[in-house]
Structure 1
Amino acid sequence: MRSKAKTIVSSGLVAGTLDITAAILVYAVILHKTTAEKILQSVASGIFKKEAYTGGSEMAVYGLCLHFLIAFIFAWFYFKIFPYIPFFKINTVLSGILYGIFVWIIMNLIVLPLAFPVLPEKKLDFPLLLSILIIICCVGMPIAFITRKYYAKWY
């Protein structure tokens, strides 16, 4: 029997791991646009601003911790709202897709603008669609499936 805490922690760990791995693979390894350390420092810059980019690996660790904190928050939120949204019990794939889109919207239209008042304008192009797809596959879907498995015993 899985506990609530184990469900939230495991879905947060899976989502956080898949998301950061996808970001590093795509942007650092495949596209060679940046490095893994810079990706993690950019996450840390949400709190530490420009200092994050001069802090070396220590800031990368802070960025990784912040990244997982955000993943746990989204996992916790989905877990909490699951019982109140009947659709989540009916179609897990579509629920994961919609939750991934929700996560992308929250991060890109609320969290990032609060952390960084001046952001580049978003254009409907391949990088934007890729970022949405990564969030859907790496965050929305795992959280939806892991949470549904916990609640399956209740319905």
Structure 2
Amino acid sequence: MDAVSFMQRQKDNSADEHRLTDALGTLSGRRPKALLPIMVGGLAAGGLDLISAFITYGWGVPRVIAAGLLGIKAIHGGLFVYFLGVALQFFIALSAAAIYYAASRKLEFLKDHALICGLFYGIAVFLVMNLIVVPLSALHGRGPFGLMALIQGLVVHMLLIGLPISYSVRRFSE
């Protein structure tokens, strides 16, 4: 190998390393930018919703959440079932935050109008949970809802789920 071809190979390797570094920087730069709003919004929404459920329905709520996956017998389950319910609560909230974040990448108004969009997103989450997820769960829950339960569910989802998610995406997204 002569000196000219060696220098050319070094130059090509250097260019390849630079491209790889740029690509890795871009990838790693995007992950934290997406992860922060999803984690903050999802954890806040999941925590606030769980606290609201504890206040309204008592400390057994995580077992009911787990029963949606395991069946009605889970309501009498132990500590594992309880923590599974808590984990499922946060999985659902983080999923809702990830969906909102992904939508906000294409629909800029979701970030620009976080108040209105967050309130409507809370309604959408309520509808998806009560018209799709719960009926398809192992509990096969269905309405009809009493008027007060419907209003309470909508308000909780609007204020404690939709708004934390929309404002976290607005605050922590690029």
Same fold (TM > 0.5): yes
Runs of 4+ in 1 over 4 A off after TM superposition: none
- Taking only the aligned residue pairs, the percentage that are identical comes to 28
Write out per-residue CA displacement over residues 56-106 of structure 1, whole angstroms, 9 at most, x where no aligned residue.
Answer: 222111100001000110010000001222331332110110000010011
> Over aligned residue pairs, what C-alpha RMSD do you find?
1.8
Give the one of 60, 81, 102 matched to 1:80: 102
Residue number in structure 2 paired with 1:8: 38
For structure 1, list consecutive stretches of 5 or more residues without a partner in the other structure: 29-35
Q: Which runs of 5+ in 2 are unaligned?
A: 1-28
Shift of 1:113: 0.6
Matched, 1:144 2:166: yes
Contact 2:36–2:172 under 8 Å retained in 1: no
**Is it true that 1:60 corresponds to 2:90 in the alignment?**
no
> Could you tell me the TM-score, scaled by structure 1's length?
0.85
What amino acid is the match of 2:162?
A: G
The 1:50/1:14 distance shift into structure 2, 3 A limit, reads same
Q: Which amino acid aligns with 1:16?
A: G
* Alpha-carbon displacement from aligned partner over 1:127-151 (angstroms, at most 9, x marks no partner): 1110111111111000000001123
Look up the match of 1:40: 62
2:123 is the counterpart of 1:123: no
2:73 counterpart letter in structure 1: E
The structure number with the bigger radius of gyration is 2
Q: TM-score, normalised by structure 2?
A: 0.76
C-alpha distance in 2, partners of 1:119/1:43? 12
- Opposite residue 117 of structure 2, the aligned amino acid is S
